[in-house]
Amino acid sequence: MVEVNLHGRQPQTVINLRRVEELHEWSHRHTQQTVTIGSAVPYSVMETGKIAELVPALAQAARTVGSPQIRAAGTLGGNLGTCSPAGDSLPVLSALNAVIHLIGPQGTRDVAWGEFMLGVKKNALGSGEFVHSITVPVIQGWQGYAKVGTRNAMVIATASACLVRDTEEGLISIALGSVGPTIIRCSQAEKWLRKTTSLRAGAQINADLAVEFGRRVSDEATPIDDHRSTAAYRRHCVAILAQRLLVRSLA
Amino acid sequence: MTTTHPTSTSTRAGTLGTNAHRPDGVAKVQGGFAFSSDMWSENMLWGATLRSPHPYAKIISIDDSAALAIDGVECVVTAQDVPGNPYYGLIMSDQPVFAAIGDTVRYCGEPIAAVAADHPETCKRALAAIKVVYEILTPVTNPQDCVSGIAPQIHPQGNVYRHQRIITGDQSIVGDVIVEGTYEIGMQDQAFLGLESALAIPDSGGEGLELYVATQWLHEDRKQIAACLNIPEDKIRLVLGGVGGAFGAREDISLQVHTCLLALKSGRPVRISYGREESFYGHVHRHPATIWMRHHADRNGKILKIESTMLFDGGAYCSTSPAVLINAITHTQGPYKCDTASVEGWAVRTNNPPCGAMRGFGVVQACFAHESQMEKLGVALGLSPVEIRLRNVMETGDRLITGQIMDSVAPVEQCIRETDAIAMPEPLLPNADIRQIPGGTGLTAQPGNIVRGVGWGVSMKNLMYSEGFDDYSTARCRMTDGVVSVKFATSEVGQGFTMLAQQIARTILGVDEVLLDTIDTQVGSAGSTSASRQTWMSGGAVKAACEKVLEDLFDHAALTFELSRDHVRIEETDIVDILSGRRIAVSEASKGINLDRTEEYHHPPTEDLDENGQGNCHVAFAFVAHRAVVDVDVELGLVKVVQIATAQDVGRILNPISVQGQVEGGIAQGLGLAVMEEIIVKDGKVRNPSFTDYLLPTFLDAPLVEMVLIEEFEPKSPLGAKGVGEPPCISVTPAIANAIRNATGRELPRVPIRPYDICL
Ligand SMILES: Cc1cc2nc3c(=O)[nH]c(=O)nc-3n(C[C@H](O)[C@H](O)[C@H](O)COP(=O)(O)OP(=O)(O)OC[C@H]3O[C@@H](n4cnc5c(N)ncnc54)[C@H](O)[C@@H]3O)c2cc1C
């Protein structure tokens, strides 16, 4: 809708997914400890309630999207369809290694997040394909999303980050938004952290280490200067966000 | 809100001093109010404007044949179709209706042609089909180049709109303490919500037309339109379309002439309505400015001398740049005593977007500089922000740097003391609601990451037009068989004048029902709804007209009911003879009679400034103090304005809730300039012409406002009231900047303060 209203795009065909009931559904599979969310589920449903309990980072990301009106109408499918590096749900899907379930004329297929987003507003959707749903794991540990913008609500991310700490596996993953052409998974920094310290339940991290983690995370960002902000500020932001999220994950 | 003095004596619903209801209130809240963009007429065409994509380019050719060949396109107008003056402008007639072949476009977004067609989509296609060949020129984008003279002349009327000095006092004085700084103010947009829109309906004879338009000044528009169309003014009737905010952006002509040209050429009603992006190109903005200031003070903090240079970038066309500049330089001292000053101001022409009126009109820029200086002066002397200001407060009777004597009520000290007495907000608690913390739901910070700061700003603002301008206002009052109606051409832009006019008539004439006639040019000019002037000026005109009708009514009642003419007065809704004690209801006394009076109100005359900037150039002044408390995430540079405490000098309070609305709204707008609102222009092009990227404060950014209204009857004002519209937005900006400086220890010489200014 943003393309149509703001950029004057005139699509030849519009398919309304609103009445496809199964896309509005979500489920929790206890056996596999996963949550599957239909592409037409709006942010307002993810913000609170059961989804927020199971995937808190997604709820936090949803809570930052636009205004109440936008959150009532906007969906995960739309965020994935647009595939903007500033899409707020995307760093969460990345950090959680989400699987995207696609459906199209050739049937269904599953795409790992890492193969889904290809560039600025580019994704792996084939012609005639659309997003059916996504699946993310329910993590034991901690997860959080943080987003920097120039006002305190209704703002496109200047920079954002999602950090997930899996205390069972002793893993930390971190993904960044708005600091590159795609969502950036900071695998180097993740690896370094895993080598440097234990991340299992009860682990402690000293302040210097968190700062160093932030620095390494920001090294993996590839931000640009534009009218919204500067590359230097974006890089600085992700360093601070990574540092703070790591400290929070251990608090 | 607390008021320090009791207000009006009458408490009859809807009279002066009460929270009378707005006649347009319910419709606006329920969505039923017709804004100018809701207007529609039988057989109406849609109009649209072709604009230059270049900031500076020569037009080689314009070919509209492909556009005219499109089905549904009715006509195209260009510079060749302008029968009268090809230029318009409020002060200098220098802005082309359309840029002509052989001439240049001087800003990105300048109109070149307009089309009328059966549908907005057809218009879009027609615009795309018009072929314009340009020879691209290098734009002048640095205003300094116009002062130094190295920029090529980009308009026959030159690159300097105005250059003016103020020199007064003994220039050899040197202070014990000297502080200086160079300050920069970014380009703010008025960002009204009701976009530009007009509907022109040609007369059946084709000689004249009717224009429904959202504007600030119907008569000035008509004057300029008539000159461009080469039609006598009395053949053009302007009617106010529903206005959704103005803030200065509707003072200049935008789509008025274009709409009329299309209607006259097609012989059909035409409506043009801008979208948000076009609106950014369609109206003037607040001047970006660079101001250097140096304050000299003695050991006790008394200001001895102020030196300043101010450079205002007026953009491509003049608009009100000369007047904005005069406001800025004459407010260099702010609300403080100062005998010696040397100020030099420039307003220049560049290929940047044209700038003109916006709430605060030049004083915003000057105030940002002088209040930043006051904070520095306090630090240099080891005095608190309150103390340094109290040692310099202006009073009635003081001589200003222009030589003018301050003859308005001037409760500056009271503004500061009352503000200081307002309780500070609670400290940020560890379990604070995340929406109260900088970064909000972005969850960037926890209370431990936050530093709190406090800052002050105090300002003086002139009211009404200055420098010899007679911006009078006219009103007509009729009483027919007991029914009162008032008519005026005062633009109701959302400020509530229609409500005030009713309050005045109810109070003076002792009636409850007051009808409002159409706001149009069928009565004399009301002047512009700007410069905080309509309550004073049009309020004065409505009062004068009502009082004349009242005299007529008393004459009639005295005869008819044998009352003592010299001893009658209105009490509630009765005429009372205070000698005999007889009471006759106004409704009874006015039966069968028809009274009709039209009156003008003029303020006392003012003068031009001489070459040394001396002269009684302003009519009156109002004052306000702001104290800002901010929370700053110093590492990320994010800010939450926690509380604004303010005490404002408002004269007599005519409608408390309306004053409160102006104060809260003005504070939000000043906050916007402090931390987020800026039109970003690079190489003469606007980079953020949308609400996605031009950020306005949301409700979560709005601070808690604690206000005290200082009610002191202003004897010079017809109703005792001062204008309250502009002051709230002026010193709140430096107050917030000073608070952020206080929290971070950074100099931050520029607004809006961007996150990276704080943390990098
Ligand atoms: C005022 C405003 C504020 C906003 N703020 C934010 C914000 O803070 N954060 C943010 O991330 N976004 C924001 N957005 C952008 C947008 O609303 C959201 O990204 C939202 O998720 C889009 O969802 P939708 O269902 O409305 O998609 P639509 O607008 O209907 O579609 C967007 C794109 O996705 C495609 N699409 C939709 N569904 C599917 C599907 N199931 N499969 C494949 N493609 C699909 C569409 O074809 C289209 O190309 C904002 C938008 C507005 C207007």
A237 and B636 in contact by Cβ < 8 A? yes
Segment holding B741, helix H or strand E: helix B732-744
Q: Looking at the complex, report in whole angstroms how far the Cα of residue A120 sits from the nearest Cα belonging to chain B.
A: 18
Q: What is the CATH number of the domain that holds A158?
A: 3.30.390.50
Q: Are strands B638-649 and B704-710 parallel, antiparallel or unpaired?
A: parallel
| B336 bridge partner residues | B393
Q: Looking at the predicted structure, is the pLDDT value of residue A53 above 80? A: yes
pLDDT reported for residue B7 = 41
**Chain A CA closest to residue B699:** A153
Q: Considering the entire predicted model, what is its pTM? A: 0.97
CATH 3.90.1170.50 residue window(s) in chain B: 36-138+195-243+250-277
How many alpha carbons lie under 13 Å from residue B588 in its C-beta half-sphere? 11
Interface contact flag, B443 A147, Cβ < 8 Å:
yes
Both A73 and A130 in one domain: the answer is yes
What number is the ipTM of this complex? Answer: 0.95
Cβ <8 Å between A147 and B444: yes
Minimum distance, in Å, between the CA of residue A156 and any CA atom of chain B: 8
Domain span(s) for CATH 3.30.365.10 in chain B: 25-32+472-602, 289-466+608-759
* Separation of CA B120 from chain center: 31
Mean confidence (pLDDT) of chain B: 97
pLDDT digits (tens, 9 = 90+) for A151-180: 988 999 999 999 999 999 889 999 999 999
pLDDT, one tens digit per residue, over B155-206 is: 999 999 999 999 999 999 999 999 999 999 999 999 999 999 999 999 988 7
Residue nearest to atom 17 of ligand 1 (CA): A74
- For the segment B495-509, the average pLDDT, to the nearest whole number, is 98
Question: Is B195:B279 a contact under the CB 8 Å cutoff?
Answer: yes
Q: Closest residue (by CA) to atom 39 of ligand 1?
A: A77
3 state SS of B159: coil
Chain A residue with minimum CA distance to B442? A147
Q: Looking at the predicted structure, is the pLDDT value of residue B262 above 80?
A: yes
Return the bridge partners of B459, or none: B624
- Tell me, what's the pLDDT at B206? 78
B457 touches chain A (CB under 8 A): no
d(CA B505, CA B510): 8
Q: Give the other-Cβ count within 10 Å of A135's Cβ.
A: 19
Alpha helix ranges (H) inside B331-429: 363-381, 385-390, 412-421
Contact B757, B746 (CB under 8 A): yes
- Decide if pLDDT at B625 tops 50: yes
Q: Which residues pair with B177 in a beta bridge?
A: B297
Smallest Cα–Cα separation from B144: which of B352, B369, B449? B352
The CATH number assigned to the domain with range B36-138+195-243+250-277 reads 3.90.1170.50
Share of chain B above pLDDT 70, in %: 99
The count of domains in chain A is: 2
Single-letter residue type at B2: T
Lowest-pLDDT range, B98-107, B252-261, B430-439, B633-642? B430-439
Pick the CATH number of B25-32+472-602 from 3.40.50.1820, 3.30.365.10, 3.40.50.2300, 3.40.50.300: 3.30.365.10
Interface contact A60-B638, CB threshold 8 A = no
Query: pLDDT class for A237, splitting at 50, 70, 90?
Result: very high
Residue A203, pLDDT score: 79
Tell me, yes or no, whether A126 and A153 share the same domain. no
The phi and psi torsions of B269 (rounded to 5 degrees) equal -60, 140
pLDDT at residue number B413: 98
CA distance B102 to B122: 28
3-state secondary structure of A155: coil
Where does the pLDDT of residue A245 fall: very low under 50, low under 70, confident under 90, or very high at 90 and above?
very high
A148–B638: do the CB atoms touch at under 8 Å?
yes
State whether A129 and A215 are in the same domain. Answer: no
Task: Indicate if A16 and A121 belong to the same structural domain.
Answer: yes
- Same domain membership, residue A147 and residue A40: no
Cβ burial A56-72 (10 Å sphere, 16+ → b, else e): bbbbbbbbbbbeeeebe
Convert the pLDDT of each residue in B552-562 to its tens digit. 999 999 999 99
Torsion B356-B361-B367-B368 (CA) sign: negative
Query: Which tens digits make up the pLDDT trace of B523-544?
Result: 999 999 999 999 999 999 999 9
Listed residue (B678, B682, B679) closest to B141, CA to CA? B682
Rounded to whole angstroms, the Cα distance separating B76 from B132 reads 13
Residue tagged 């749903």 (tokens)? A133
Which fold, B289-466+608-759? Aldehyde Oxidoreductase; domain 4 (3.30.365)
User: Looking at the predicted structure, is the pLDDT value of residue A66 above 60?
Assistant: yes
Same domain, A126 and A16: yes
Is A98 found in the same domain as A149?
A: no
Q: Which domain holds residue A180?
A: 143-250
Quote the pLDDT of residue B80: 98
Angle at B287 between CA B284 and CA B291, to 5 degrees: 175
Question: Of A137, A171, A198, which residue is a domain's last?
Answer: A137
pLDDT tens per residue across span A126-141: 999 999 999 999 999 9
CA B757 to ligand 1 center in whole angstroms: 32
Contact B714, B654 (CB under 8 A): no
Per-residue pLDDT at B4 exceeds 50: no
pLDDT at B8 over 80: no
CA angle B420, B719, B711 (to 5 degrees): 15
Task: Measure CB to CB from residue A152 to each of B636, B701, B754 and give the nearest one.
Answer: B701
Q: How confident is the model at residue B9 (pLDDT cuts 50, 70, 90)?
A: low
B756–A233 C-beta distance less than 8 A: yes
Q: What is the pLDDT of residue B5?
A: 40
Question: Which chain A residues contact residue B682 at CB under 8 A?
Answer: 227
Q: How far is the CA of A78 from the centre of ligand 1 (A)?
A: 4
Task: Calculate mean pLDDT across residues A79-94.
Answer: 97
Q: CA torsion A70→A74→A79→A80, rounded to 10°?
A: 180
Residues of A in contact with B640 (CB under 8 A): 152
Alpha helices in B652-724 (DSSP H): 656-675
Strand B236-240 and strand B209-213: the pairing is parallel
Q: Does residue A149 share a domain with residue A58?
A: no
pLDDT-derived band at A4 (thresholds 50, 70, 90) equals confident
Per-residue pLDDT reduced to its tens digit, B599-608: 999 999 999 9
Give the pocket of ligand 1 (CB within 6 Å). A 1-2, 17, 39, 64-66, 70, 73-75, 77-79, 81-82, 87-88, 125, 130-131, 156
Over 50: is that where the pLDDT of B3 sits?
Answer: no
**Pairs of residues, one from chain A and one from chain B, whose beta carbons lie less than 8 Å apart:** 95
Residue B648, CA distances (Å) to A66, B3, B619, B655 in order: 35, 10, 19, 15
Q: Tell me which of A137, A159, A192 is where a domain ends.
A: A137
Which ligand 1 atom sits closest to the C-alpha of A64?
A: 8
Find how far residue B9's CA is from the centre of its chain.
Answer: 31
Asked if residue B147 has pLDDT above 50, the reply is yes
The predicted model gives A28-56 an average pLDDT of 96
Residues A238, A184: one domain? yes
Whether residue B242 contacts residue B35, with contact meaning beta carbons closer than 8 Å, is answered with yes
Percent of chain B with pLDDT over 90: 97
Q: Are residues A9 and A132 both part of a single domain?
A: yes
User: Among all chains, which residue has been given the structure tokens 């947009």?
Assistant: B189
Collapse the DSSP code of A16 into the 3-class scheme (helix H, G, I; strand E, B; otherwise coil) and give the result: coil
pLDDT, position B628: 98
Domain identity same for A86 and A106: yes
